[in-house]
Amino acid sequence: MELLEEHRCFEGRQQRWRHDSTTLNCAMTFSIFLPPTAENVKPPVLYWLSGLTCNDENFTTKAGAQRVAAELGIALVMPDTSPRGDDVADDAGYDLGKGAGFYLNATQQPWANHYRMYDYIRDELPALVKAQFEVSDRAAISGHSMGGHGALIMALKNPGTFTSVSAFAPIVNPTQVPWGQKAFSNYLGNDETTWQEWDSCALMQASHAEDAIPTLIDQGDADQFLANQLQPAVLAEVARQKSWPLTLRIQPGHDHSYYFIASFIEDHLRFHAEHLFG
């Protein structure tokens, strides 16, 4: 682990690290915010998964989350969105390859050698964080767009791991929308039965009642991707059928940008704090 940057931020510490990922078979960077309380007690961790084209710095610099995380005593961990490096396969499109890992394990070439973001986020990164920092075992997860999809599938596929999950404008039904269909056909192949285990709607439909956790989704009604790529109401309908505790809030006038995230990240952190410290 190599410390690339460290800054005081709201009396906590904002750091950026590089490490060699054995899961992804490349060097990776991630950012972490340690609240001031971390000097006395082990803080719980909120994992934040970013969207298409992002790396670990978008949320870190634009969301304004550290102010509230410092107050609440929550550590924030911000990973990158794909494997990186010259020998990692890529695509000319912004929605496939680097910056577009979709938080799954690819089975098809040329992707399968490196694109294992699911295993990285589920196993390697939390193990690294727990080994290197004084944090507690309590964790929650959140994300934006492709990262909202990532947060939801992480929570749905790993009962007992997270106390709560939230998302901003998530891709809830990737098997049915252009972004997901492009990514899944490339990463997973054309057998659509294999796609279902990476689709939040399918996963929630198959979930057990005792595994449900509090879930908060914010969606702007001026989001240019709402109708074609996002459709969070589809997941809300599954949640209704399954009595899953999901709150979907439609935010008037808000779009897909970090201005939307900045406007409501405080609500998400306070929502997670209720359950992380509950």
User: Which residues would be at the binding site for a copy of itself (CB under 8 A)?
Assistant: 7-11, 14, 61-62, 64, 66-67, 220, 222, 251-255, 257-260, 262-263
Least distance to a copy of itself, CB of residue 217, Å = 18
> Which residue among 56, 223, 254, 268 is the active-site one?
223
Query: Whose Cβ is closer to a copy of itself: residue 260's or residue 271's?
Result: 260
**Alpha-carbon gap, residue 52 to 80, rounded angstroms:** 10
Name the token pair of 110. Answer: 């040329």
User: If you write DSSP's letter for every residue of the chain in order, what string do you get?
Assistant: -EEEEEEEETTEEEEEEEEEETTTTEEEEEEEEE-GGGGTS---EEEEE--TT--THHHHHHS-HHHHHHHHT-EEEEE-SS--STTS---SSTTSBTTB-TTSB--STTTTTT-BHHHIIIIIHHHHHHHHS---S-EEEEEETHHHHHHHHHHHHSTTT-S-EEEES----GGGSHHHHHHHHHHH-S-GGGGGGG-HHHHHHT--GGG---EEEEEETT-TTIIIII-HHHHHHHHHHHT--EEEEEETT--SSHHHHHHHHHHHHHHHHHHH--
Closest contact distance (angstroms) between CB of 257 and a copy of itself is: 5
Residue whose CB is less far from a copy of itself, 6 or 123: 6
CB of 13 to a copy of itself, least distance (A): 9
Q: Confirm whether 256 is a catalytic residue.
A: yes
Which residue number, 64 or 110, has a Cβ lying nearer to a copy of itself?
64
Determine whether 56 is an active site residue. no
> Between 66 and 105, whose beta carbon lies closer to a copy of itself?
66
Catalytic residue among 114, 256, 268, 272: 256
Give catalytic status of residue 137 as yes or no: no
Considering the complex, state which of residue 147 and residue 174 has its C-beta at the smaller distance from a copy of itself: 147
Q: Shortest gap between Cβ of 8 and a copy of itself (angstroms)?
A: 4
Instruction: Out of 21, 50, 82, 145, pick the active-site residue.
Output: 145
Nearest approach, Cβ of residue 260 and a copy of itself (Å)? 7
> For residues 10 and 133, which CB has a smaller minimum distance to a copy of itself in the complex?
10
- The whole-angstrom separation of Cα 68 and Cα 277 is 15
Minimum gap (Å) between residue 241 Cβ and a copy of itself? 32
Closest CA to 153 of 168, 131, 173, 169: 173
Report the DSSP beta bridge partners of residue 5.
16
User: If we measure between CA atoms, which residue out of 172, 182, 170 comes closest to residue 145?
Assistant: 170
Which residues are identified as catalytic?
145, 223, 256
